[in-house]
Amino acid sequence: TQLLEQSPQFLSIQEGENLTVYCNSSSVFSSLQWYRQEPGEGPVLLVTVVTGGEVKKLKRLTFQFGDARKDSSLHITAAQPGDTGLYLCAGGGNYGQNFVFGPGTRLSVLP
Amino acid sequence: GAGVSQSPSNKVTEKGKDVELRCDPISGHTALYWYRQSLGQGLEFLIYFQGNSAPDKSGLPSDRFSAERTGGSVSTLTIQRTQQEDSAVYLCASSLGVGQGPIYGYTFGSGTRLTVV
């Protein structure tokens, strides 16, 4: 089973600051997804990356897939309190327990 | 429906009782997944369905856990003789089909928070 690690585990920053969170594995992933989960809700898909070296932007969020497709990063510019949540990366095989979720980075953006 | 619907949203039960959790996926989504999320943890895969079939049950923690899906739509996750360690949020997700999830994503419900006292 492929495993995903995320860092940092917790991050608390002030509004307006920039931040980067990381998702790493020793395995190659055919695709990787990022989700954001708010308290009391299920995870919501932010992006899917499939090509090594791919960069995708979603407003103030920039996602990068590593060249070797073993790692990914999420950069947030000028963080806002609405960015607060649990950020999960996920990837792996097509289905079942071959598709795994990382433990998440819990982000708190203080006003 | 417009989204994945789960019920109940909260369930408190006494140790040893049975509970049933329900998931109504997005209409037309043939694949359905159950995950468990313990406090402060990531998502633990439990079981998935393609149509009414469950090809992979290996994630179910014990034989107290079972799940079924009927009519290719609604699914129920049943936990028999609940234990305190079963306390967690149980999340259901659906995707267009098996194989589409890793590309187009999974749509999650809001979960059922189960507390065993």
Per-residue pLDDT of chain A (111 residues; tens, 9 = 90+): 668 999 999 999 999 999 999 999 988 888 899 999 999 999 999 999 999 999 999 999 999 999 999 999 999 999 999 999 999 999 876 555 578 899 999 999 999
Q: Is B103 on the interface with A (CB under 8 A)?
A: yes
For chain B, which ranges sit under pLDDT 50? none
At A53 the pLDDT is 95
Token duo for residue A79: 């963080």
At B48 the pLDDT is 92
Angle at A51 between CA A50 and CA A52, to 5 degrees: 125
Asked whether B94 and B73 are in contact (CB, 8 A), the reply is no
Instruction: Count CB-CB contacts under 10 A for residue A94.
Output: 16
Chain A residues bordering chain B (beta-carbon distance below 8 Å): 30-31, 33, 40-45, 48, 50, 88, 90-97, 99-104, 106
Give A32→chain B minimum CA distance, Å: 7
Interface test with B, best of A46, A58, A97 (most B CBs within 10 A): A97
At A94 the pLDDT is 59
CA distances from B108 to A11, A29, A48, A111 (A): 24, 22, 16, 29
Tell me if B110 and A41 make a contact (CB, 8 A cut-off).
yes
At A97 the pLDDT is 58
Residues of B in contact with A43 (CB under 8 A): 43, 91, 106, 108
Give the residue on A whose Cα is nearest the Cα of B100.
Answer: A94
Tell me if A97 and B58 make a contact (CB, 8 A cut-off).
yes
Residues of A in contact with B104 (CB under 8 A): 48
- DSSP annotation string for A5-74: EEE-SEEEEETT--EEEEEE-SS--S-EEEEEE-TTS--EEEEEE-STT-EEEETTEEEEE-TTSSEEEE
How much of chain B is helix, strand and coil, in % rounded to 5? Answer: 5, 50, 45
Tell me if B41 and A88 make a contact (CB, 8 A cut-off).
no
Give A36→chain B minimum CA distance, Å: 11
